[in-house]
């Protein structure tokens, strides 16, 4: 099995990264966080339409239906970039609704969905899939992801949703590894870069290992499309994102505990994604069921 990206896939990844840097760069991210702290999170409809025009939501929709006609591996690359940029909004639910909910593919309609007992961006969405009756707002750890808790809940464990969320976690994990390595080269203590100290080197090396292991699992699951592979990928990507952000915070030292460091935002989003679209417990149960079925 080959996991080397084709020229077209590399071009797609570069195109998505360029789009997100132009439309949701660090200044926009910081402005969104500041606005959220002051008045609550607001979904950027202009950005949503720009994503739709670029084909982000219609990536897997057949060309005959107005989509881009690509597959799950290409969608994973796009969502990896979204995770790297900390792009907010119900991206997975709207992507899954393309071709099923009018306007979702074009980014004209924002779609969210009930997942287990949570629904994100309920008040900002045009369409809520699943039964969200009785939903009550809960305090979200992520300033850019408002949440409601739903009594009962449903629609948990969608393997494609889990894989796309794993791809976002992978992008976040890769970004925090980059941030930690760069800071370790720039920040000096006792006249030397902190990256010269073995303890910091081990943190950065462990982050990179977790990213690459998760990347192999996510890309493999995108190729096979197997639900058990998606569950395994979600487990590894959650670990890479959460532990990577924690280790990055350690490399940053005291600065990492402030809002000025982006790792703070990556850690909070990683915690939230770990509870969305297949939790660790659900993923472990899916893998156990497959092992039993295979004998």
pLDDT of residue 294: 82
Task: Please give the backbone phi and psi of residue 141, each rounded to the nearest 5 degrees, phi first.
Answer: -70, -25
How far apart, in whole angstroms, are the C-alpha atoms of residue 84 and residue 76? 12
pLDDT of residue 153: 59
pLDDT of residue 50: 95
How far apart, in whole angstroms, are the C-alpha atoms of residue 94 and residue 173? 23
pLDDT of residue 132: 87
pLDDT of residue 1: 56
pLDDT of residue 186: 93
Instruction: Check: CB of residue 40 under 8 Å from CB of residue 146.
Output: yes
pLDDT of residue 189: 86
pTM of the model: 0.94
pLDDT of residue 259: 79
Four-CA torsion 94, 125, 159, 58, nearest 10 degrees: 0
Task: Please give the backbone phi and psi of residue 246, each rounded to the nearest 5 degrees, phi first.
Answer: -65, -45
pLDDT per residue rounded down to tens, the chain (295 residues):
567 899 999 999 999 999 999 999 999 999 999 998 888 888 999 999 999 999 999 999 999 998 999 999 999 999 999 999 999 999 999 999 999 999 999 999 999 999 888 999 999 999 999 888 899 999 999 999 999 999 875 555 689 999 999 999 999 999 999 999 999 999 988 889 998 899 999 999 999 999 999 999 999 999 999 999 999 999 999 999 999 999 999 999 888 778 788 999 999 999 999 998 888 998 999 989 988 988 7
pLDDT of residue 155: 56
Task: Please give the backbone phi and psi of residue 158, each rounded to the nearest 5 degrees, phi first.
Answer: -65, 120
């Amino acid at each position: 099995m080959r996991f080397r990206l084709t020229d077209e896939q590399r071009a797609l990844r570069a195109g998505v990264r360029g789009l997100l840097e132009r439309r949701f760069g660090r200044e926009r991210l910081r402005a969104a966080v500041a606005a959220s702290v002051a008045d609550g999170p607001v979904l950027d409809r202009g950005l949503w339409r720009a994503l739709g025009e670029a084909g982000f939501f219609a990536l897997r929709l057949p060309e005959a239906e107005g989509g881009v006609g690509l597959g799950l591996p290409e969608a994973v690359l796009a969502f990896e970039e979204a995770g790297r940029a900390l792009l907010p909004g119900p991206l997975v639910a709207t992507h899954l609704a393309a071709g099923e909910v009018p306007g979702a593919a074009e980014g004209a309609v924002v779609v969210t969905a009930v997942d287990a007992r949570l629904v994100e961006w309920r008040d900002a969405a045009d369409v809520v899939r699943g039964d969200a009756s009785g939903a009550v707002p809960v305090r979200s750890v992520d300033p850019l992801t408002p949440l409601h808790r739903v009594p009962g809940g449903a629609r948990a464990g969608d393997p494609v949703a889990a894989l796309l969320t794993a791809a976002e976690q992978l992008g976040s994990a890769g970004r925090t590894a980059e941030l930690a390595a760069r800071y370790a080269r720039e920040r000096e203590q006792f006249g030397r870069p902190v990256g010269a100290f073995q303890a910091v080197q081990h943190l950065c090396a462990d982050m990179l290992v977790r990213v690459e292991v998760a990347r192999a699992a996510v890309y493999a699951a995108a190729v096979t499309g197997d639900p058990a592979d998606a569950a395994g990928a979600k487990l590894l990507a959650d670990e890479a994102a959460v532990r990577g952000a924690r280790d990055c915070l350690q490399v940053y030292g005291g600065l990492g505990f402030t809002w000025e460091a982006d790792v703070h935002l990556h850690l909070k989003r990683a915690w939230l994604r770990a509870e969305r679209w297949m939790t660790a417990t659900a993923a472990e149960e899916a893998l156990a069921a497959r092992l039993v079925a295979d004998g």
